[in-house]
Chains A and B, each alone.
Chain A
Amino acid sequence: MTRLGDLERAVMDVLWDSVPTTSDGVTVREVADALDGRELAYTTVMTVLDRLAGKGMVQREREGRAWRYRAAASREAHIAQLMLDALDLGGSRDAALVRFARSVTGTEADVLRAALGAQAGLTDRVDGPRAGRARRADEATDR
């Protein structure tokens, strides 16, 4: 894992684990404080948050002179997305994943999709075409 990937992960872990979903986000300073053990410069944390915002992983809102950041979607939703890809239920073979075997119950597939749907607007924001793909996947399962 690259150092940058490592940092991004650490920052996301803070946003996922230490920020209550009801809160309206944290400032760069608060993230840096939560990552105390790593002794990161304020600007480093800001850069990482900026990159994550560029990737659609975090959302930010301006509050006064500072930005407040929060995760765009829960960790569970992202895992659900990966599982849909992995189980070929995403309706797209683009990722060209070679899977050992498919093993998922119809209910499980619904649960996976629900995990995505529960993130209001996530599909549009993080990955536009995904919503259409999910529909096609439904048709595929129905046959």
Chain B
Amino acid sequence: MAFAVHFAASMLACWLTAQVLAASTWPWRAPRVAIVCWQAVGLALGLSAMGLPMAWGLAPYDRPTGGALLALATDLTHGTLPVGVGPVHLGLVGVGFGIGVVLLATTVRSVHATVRAQRRHRNLLTLVARQDPTVPGALVLDHPSAAAYCLPGVRPRVVVSAGTLDLLDRAELAAVLTHERAHAQERHDLVLLPFTALCRALPWFRWVRDAHERVALLVEMRADDKARELHAEASLAGALRRFAACDDRITPVGALGVGDRDLDVRVQRLMLADRPPRVIAATALAVAATLVALPVSLFLN
């Protein structure tokens, strides 16, 4: 039973860490560290969610979960179960495996759907997008709406619409392109992938969607940081403001979308030249490592 309690404690720790991460503002100054922390929370939560019912079901063995699982497997092959292991216990172990299978299957499905959608998008781009001397290395879609995005993959594509070319000046455009290339280089799509998969697996949990949105914003901030290494902050902020201004024109009064708030936050942080919070970052990484180590050690011991 003690091991099940440990897994439950690990889940609680994950939940608390997520609350702190969501409520603090330091992640905006150290987006990369914060992304690692969110990934650790996700991983630890998934492992604990599998481990909790397993450990509960394996309580009669009174051994760490990994060893108990092996013992159960041996007993099952011999057809002799120890006293105290009943159908309920086996059911609980099954639930644990079920959670693992669901998580894995959702991720695989998510990857599959993504690869298909991206291939389709890429094929269409080849047929209708054009190259433009003003944006070397990027593709242009002839459409008056403003959009700038990155199609990730092994051969990533940075795409801007004709509307964006009209909207931004030269320096702003250059900053936006660097931002998009950063997404491609650091494979931010893979960073977001597990959270997208989790949203699919548990669509009715608000906090899962929240976590996804947080990580999505952090990824944007990370790309903003890469862009500000090469370009003036004013250019990037200018580009963001222009996109935001476009948005304001259209958003119904009183209905500020999430997008708007995120844009504001991103512009504001570009205006502050804060140093990265080293102590907090180191502490956060230590917490993240502990979070992952706890369920892993419970399985392995």
Contacts and interface: CB of A to CB of B under 8 A. Distances in A.
Interface of A: 1, 5, 8-9, 12, 55, 57, 75, 78-83, 85-87, 92-108, 112, 127
Contact of A102 (B152, B219, B239, B247): B247
Interface in B246-269: 246-247, 249-250, 252, 259, 263
B128 A78 contact: yes
B146 interface: yes
B192 A83 contact: no
Given A93-B196, A103-B247, A98 B126 contact: no
11 contacts: A9-B127, A79-B143, A82-B129, A83-B145, A86-B149, A86-B161, A87-B147, A94-B114, A99-B148, A101-B263, A112-B145
Interface in B166-225: 167, 176, 179-180, 183, 188-189, 192-193, 196, 219-220, 223
B243 A95 contact: no
* Best-surrounded residue of A78, A83, A92, A108 (most CB of chain B within 10 A): A83
A96 B188 CA distance: 10
Given A82-B141, A103-B246, A105-B249, A98 B150 contact: yes
A92 B167 CA distance: 26
Given A98-B180, A104-B146, 12 more contacts: A9-B127, A78-B128, A82-B125, A87-B145, A95-B114, A98-B152, A98-B188, A98-B189, A100-B148, A101-B243, A104-B145, A104-B147
**Chain B binding surface SS class:** helix
Contacts of B219: 98
Interface of B: 113-114, 116-118, 120-121, 123-129, 141-152, 159, 161, 167, 176, 179-180, 183, 188-189, 192-193, 196, 219-220, 223, 239-240, 243-244, 246-247, 249-250, 252, 259, 263
A112 B146 CA distance: 12
A95 B250 contact: no
A107 B219 CA distance: 29
